[in-house]
Chains A and B, each alone.
Chain A
Amino acid sequence: MDVTIIAEITNDGLHSSTAQLVAAATSLGASPVILCPGGIGASDAAAISGVARVISLMGDQFASFDGGSWVAALDAAAGDGVIFAAATANGRELAARLATKRRIPIIQDVIGLEPGLTITRPIYSGKAVEKSTCEGACVITIRVNAFEASQSGGSAEISTVNHSADVAVAIKEAIQKATERLDVSEAEIIVSGGRGLGSIENFSKLEAVADQIGAAVGASRAIVDEWGLPHSMQVGQTGKTVVPQLYFAVGISGAIQHLAGMRSSKYIVAINKDPDAPIFSVADYGIVAKWEDALPILSSELAKLQ
């Protein structure tokens, strides 16, 4: 099978999800070609085991993100078969445009692949799972952390393709993030709070515990809306879908929309005073207690681990 991968890149180079895309391709018996927009991360991509070739895709448009002009170049360089991208905001936009440009199917946010090609993805924010099949060429985005990354140790050849295109989106102003706190979609551990915390003043106590273990801080929709927290913190159907190693749900009852966003976490710890709270249905470790009593003990226990 002919697989082309659109590398997921960051300001610093190759994003770790690119090696996961390679693993997804090799699981189908393919030796993928990786396209690196702007040439970013090309040498790291070439070092991923199982990669056939790396193409540094060069053009003026790669100075900033613009889906239309990036896709013009990706279309010129990508193979005719199956195309993979990471199911991130930019990856999804590129994948959708490229599929439409080629008039081939697009399937987003895939969590499983079988030769043939059978594709598994969650729908209704994880309230159901869909299996579909695609014959021939298609574009697929793969959920970050759904596949174990391919190891390094490869030494693929790197070539360069130049393809400039007119940019439609111009950057007017860059705004730095106020806090350096980790984003929930990137974090290995997330500490999330809900309405049970009572007031926004108590939310800082949760942040302090998160800081102890380098965790990201999440929130339920209710308190994002009512306490004016940044929407980027919201976990759930109208927020982020997260898959950390460990998810602490503190004072979160577990509305169906919240469960949709975090139920795939590897381990879930719930702290809630209501023993019947729906959050306990997905918790690996459920603690029936007031958060006011449990949080200080959690903090001191975590301190002992450092």
Chain B
Amino acid sequence: MGRLEEGVLMADIAVLLKQVPDTNAKILVSGDRVDESAVNKWSMSPYDEFALEAALQSKASSGGVVTVITCGPARAAKMLTDAAAVGADNLMHIKVDDLTALDSLQVQSLLAAAVEKSGAGIVFCGKQAADTNAGSTGPGVAELLGVGCVTMISEVSIEGDSCTALRPTADGAERVVLSAPCVLAFDKTLTDLRRPNVKGIMMAKRKQIESVTAEDLGVDIGTAQVSISSHRPPPKKPAGQKFEGAESVPEVVSKLREEAKVL
């Protein structure tokens, strides 16, 4: 598995990106659904940013092509262009008007088919998206592709088709090795994320986005098996008690003991 370039095995990476409401954005519920039109800013999901950064670092150190893939409506194209501005080579947009109408398996089927189309042997993604917070996509795509997967990764190094990743355990952490083809799902890593420069932004504007549909990918996504009945704002907490000054600390400690019974 893998593409040889002048006799060297290239680590071509597909990075799965999701555009989500910015983590600063207020989420409003209107009727029975979260009102997406009220979201003031859409961003690349934070863990996906670390996956993209890791892919760009791998490209810088050992070559290979980085393809970014997203599934979403027209507005998601901007996120692909943003990825190109920091160094992504190929941009693939699976056009879906209403992503929230698809269930996890449908999204995974589209992404897995797009990965195969990209030719990449290694798939990077975030450990979960900041909207659904589920974390099903990475392992699910791995299952569809029939390959190994490691989640919660905070460091990775790639040599040829061998990936070494650091993941947390109950006792600390462990370094694990797996071979491409494989899926690696990233937690936040210690590296700073690169910011685009003017040249990157100019180049990205001219970069073609390969726009595909389920039909183009040869995927019959069927119908969603999960039906959403309602969205609601979180239950409001009753107003708490407020105290002025550090001298109130003993009273609060006593209330934690007598009233709340948690000390």
List residues of chain A with CB under 8 Å of any chain B CB.
10-11, 66-68, 71, 89, 92-97, 99-101, 103-109, 118, 122-134, 138, 168-178, 189, 213, 231-232, 234, 237-239, 241, 245-246, 255-257, 263, 266-269, 275, 280-290, 293-294, 297-298, 301-302, 305
Contact = CB atoms under 8 A, between A and B. Distances in A.
Interface in B217-232: 225-232
B73 interface: no
B133 A122 contact: yes
Contacts of B166: 175
A92 B129 CA distance: 13
Interface residues on B, range: 35 or more
Interface in B185-235: 187-188, 190, 225-235
A133 B140 contact: no
A133 B227 contact: yes
B176 A169 contact: yes
B215 to A, nearest CB: 20
Shortest Cβ-Cβ A-B pairs, 6 listed:
A168-B148, A293-B246, A177-B172, A96-B136, A127-B27, A96-B139
A221 B171 CA distance: 23
B175 interface: yes
A93 B139 contact: yes
A289 B247 CA distance: 9
Contact of B242 (A118, A255, A286, A305): A286
A267 B246 contact: no
A128 to B, nearest CB: 5
Nearest to B45: A238
Contacts of A93: 135, 138-139, 149, 151
Main secondary structure of the interface of A (DSSP, over half): mixed
A29 to B, nearest CB: 21
B248 interface: yes
B57 interface: no
Interface string B161-178: 000101011111111111
A192 B169 CA distance: 22
Contact of B244 (A170, A241, A288): A288
Contacts of B130: 124-125, 237-238
Contacts of B232: 128-129, 131
Contacts of A288: 242-245
Given A96-B134, A97-B139, A130-B231, 16 more contacts: A100-B105, A100-B143, A103-B105, A124-B21, A128-B34, A129-B235, A171-B176, A189-B262, A238-B188, A269-B256, A286-B242, A287-B243, A289-B244, A293-B245, A301-B253, A302-B253
12 contacts: A105-B103, A106-B104, A108-B134, A127-B233, A128-B27, A129-B232, A172-B176, A266-B262, A287-B243, A287-B246, A289-B246, A302-B263
B31 interface: no
A106 B134 contact: yes
